[in-house]
Every structure is written in structure tokens, then in C-alpha cells.
Amino acid sequence: MKVENERQEDSWEEAQQVLEAIGARDRFLITSHVSLDGDALCSELALTRVLEKLGKKAWIVNEAQPPHVYDFLPGLEKVMRWPAMPPEDWDGVFVLDLGKWSRMGKLTRAISAEKDFIIDIDHHRSTTGCGTISMIDPGISSTGELLYEFFKYSNLPMDRDTALLLYVAIITDTGRFSFDNTTARTHRNVAELMEYGVDAQYISNMVFRRQTLAQLQLYKRALASLSVNSDGRIAWIILRRKDFEETGTTALMTQEFVETPRSVVGAKIGIFFREMEEAGKVKVSMRSNVELDLNRFAMPYGGGGHAAAAGISMKGSVEDALGKIIPALETELDKL
């Protein structure tokens, strides 16, 4: 039988250190990264529930507002937004799902790596550990899944709401079990979470099947702009400042939009051109379905990212950006 990245240790040293730190301290500040996602937010809320059941105090502070789809999460009213800070001093800080220190944004002004006792819990491959103590597992789908294994290993008090939060962390970070971080281990952990009474259909309806009318009106404009080049290998959408102004929306609501041109059958590259708030600048977000390294492509323009997903901020109009990027990508595609 194939034994993959399942936790094997009888003695999980990092977990014991975290457990000891919780036992020795009483008041915790909890935070995560800017551009808050489901894993970050739900990990914060789940950990808070467990700490409170242990009789500890815990306060969540983030720089960003939680996206609207998470408005149903139990305990959400406890989440504070910078510059609001806890009413009391804390003696421990949890940084969850952070990736790297600078992703904490403005909270770095209130939290000090030198003075504070920092407990870093993360699954990012890029992380080097920025805590006084760290519990890091790059082989696991999400920080939420790592927290579940920690709670289980340490016999910490779980309940249905904690299970729900960890479930949301996992389904969002795995793209509903569709990204390559989804493993048999993930499904086994999720099966256990469901045994606490998690309602998968309800959660899916709340997280993935709700959009504001304004957001859909913006999407309608994006769809109306959908175009392909002469041979259909490149597809793109365009949104201008007036599209945001007239629908009362912001760029925060467009995170998934680039997936639409990318999904066109025959398209090798999907692109989203967006006029930025800063006048005379255009954001070019690109996704690749082929072996064209978009990070390498973006670098000469001062952009970057990953091989399959990269972005560039360009000076000039949308038409200037189209005139530069489309022919340059056609040339690159011809080389494949």
C-alpha cells in the first residue's frame, strides 16, 4: 500500500512545543496575511475557538476586511481590523498561513519578531519559519488541515463549529479538492471533520454560490469584452475605470475573472487587462495552459509571478498594453 505524506511520528515535536507554549501563556493575538483568504480567516477563527475552550483569551486582528462570502462563519464578529487592537496586552502571537513576515502588512508595526513570543503555523513551501517556535508542513493542503492534525494529536477540544471552520479552510485552499495539494490524507482528514456534522452543501452554497449584484454586473461587462486573437490561442477580457465606478465595485471583486478567458477552448493563454486606480497604468494578469513560462515572459516588463500565473503593471493605455503583449505572446507561442 502506498504510504504518502501521512503523519508518521509517534512524537510530533513541533506540536508539543506549540502545546507547551499555549499552556504557559494566557492572552494571544492572532493574525495572518493581507488579502485574507478562506484558509487564513478560518484558521484564525478555529484556533480562537479552541483557545477559548481552554480558558485562554484570544483576539484576531487583520489588516484586511474579510471577503463577503465569509459573512456566515461562526465567530466572525470577533475579527478586528487594523488599526483596532486588543483591549489588553498579549503574551503570545500566532501568525497563521503567513508565507513570509512582510505579508502581515501593517500589523508588522504592532508585532515585533524580537520582543513578542511568536508561534508560526504554516504550510507554504516558501516559508522559512518566522516564529519563536514554528510548526510548518509544506506537504499538507492548508493551514486549516495542519491545525486539525494538531488539535487531534493534542486531544484539544473540537466541536461542530470548529470542524466547519477547518472544512472551509481546506475546501478553499484546495480549490474544492481540485488543486495538486489535494491528497488522500486531505480526504481522510475531511471525512473526520464531516463526522462532527459539517453540512457540505450549505457551505458550498455560502462560499461558492453567492455573488453580489454589483459584482455580477461587473462580470457582465468583463464577459462583454471577451476577445480572442486571429487564431484563438490568446483570449482576454478588459475592465476600465468607468466599469468599476458605474457598478460601484473594486478590483478586490475580480480575483477569479482571469479564469474566464483562460477557460476558452483552444486558448493557450488567458489575460485580464484592467485600468488601475492610478491613472495611466494598466494591470495585466495572465494565465497559461501550456509550457510557456509567464514569470520569465513578465520579467522584462518589470512583472513576475509563477510559470502558469503572472502579472505586469504597465504604463500607458489598455490599447498600448494590448499592442505590446498580444504580439509578444504570439511570438513566444510560435516557439513552443
Single residue of 39, 44, 149, 243 touching Mn ion by CB under 5 A: 39
User: For Mn ion, what does the binding mask look like between residues 206 and 245, x meaning CB under 5 A?
Assistant: ----------------------------------------
CA distance linking residue 95 with residue 44, whole number of Å: 9
Distances (CA, A) of 327 to 14, 104, 149, 313: 51, 38, 49, 18
Q: Which stretch binds Mn ion (CB under 5 A): 39-47, 77-85, 197-205, 279-287?
A: 39-47
For position 173 contacting Mn ion by CB under 5 A, the verdict is yes
Strands (E) located in the chain: 27-31, 57-62, 79-81, 92-96, 118-122, 133-136, 227-228, 234-239, 269-275, 281-288, 304-305, 309-315
Contacts 24+ apart (CB under 8 A), 171-176: 171/38, 171/203, 171/204, 171/207, 172/37, 172/38, 172/39, 172/42, 172/142, 172/207, 173/37, 173/38, 173/39, 173/141, 173/142, 173/143, 173/144, 173/145, 174/141, 174/142, 176/204, 176/208
Q: Which three cell numbers stand for residue 70?
A: 465569509
CA distance linking residue 307 with residue 287, whole number of Å: 9
In the complex, what is the shortest distance from the CB of residue 173 to Mn ion, in angstroms, rounded to a whole number? 5
For position 44 contacting Mn ion by CB under 5 A, the verdict is no
Contacts (Cβ under 8 Å, ≥6 apart) of 90: 27, 28, 29, 59, 116
* Planar angle of CA 159, 162, 167, nearest 5 degrees: 120
In the complex, what is the shortest distance from the CB of residue 250 to Mn ion, in angstroms, rounded to a whole number? 23
In the complex, what is the shortest distance from the CB of residue 30 to Mn ion, in angstroms, rounded to a whole number? 15
Q: Is 45 or 234 the residue whose CB approaches Mn ion more closely?
A: 45
Contacts (Cβ under 8 Å, ≥6 apart) of 318: 238, 240, 273, 275, 282
Q: Is 175 or 302 the residue whose CB approaches Mn ion more closely?
A: 175
Window 254 to 283, contacts with Mn ion (CB under 5 A): none
Q: Is 127 or 215 the residue whose CB approaches Mn ion more closely?
A: 127
In the complex, what is the shortest distance from the CB of residue 125 to Mn ion, in angstroms, rounded to a whole number? 11
CA distance linking residue 30 with residue 46, whole number of Å: 11
Q: Is 118 or 314 the residue whose CB approaches Mn ion more closely?
A: 118
Q: Is 41 or 238 the residue whose CB approaches Mn ion more closely?
A: 41
**CB-based closest residue to Mn ion:** 39
CA distance linking residue 199 with residue 160, whole number of Å: 10
Q: Is 143 or 260 the residue whose CB approaches Mn ion more closely?
A: 143
In the complex, what is the shortest distance from the CB of residue 41 to Mn ion, in angstroms, rounded to a whole number? 10
Q: Is 63 or 97 the residue whose CB approaches Mn ion more closely?
A: 97
Q: Is 121 or 222 the residue whose CB approaches Mn ion more closely?
A: 121
Window 79 to 138, contacts with Mn ion (CB under 5 A): 97
CA distance linking residue 172 with residue 50, whole number of Å: 21
Q: Which stretch binds Mn ion (CB under 5 A): 167-175, 246-254, 255-263, 312-320?
A: 167-175
Q: Is 66 or 261 the residue whose CB approaches Mn ion more closely?
A: 66
In the complex, what is the shortest distance from the CB of residue 187 to Mn ion, in angstroms, rounded to a whole number? 18
Q: Which stretch binds Mn ion (CB under 5 A): 71-79, 172-180, 187-195, 232-240?
A: 172-180
Window 137 to 156, contacts with Mn ion (CB under 5 A): 142-143
User: By rule CB under 5 A, what count of residues binds Mn ion?
Assistant: 5
Applying CB under 5 A, the residues found at the interface with Mn ion are 39, 97, 142-143, 173
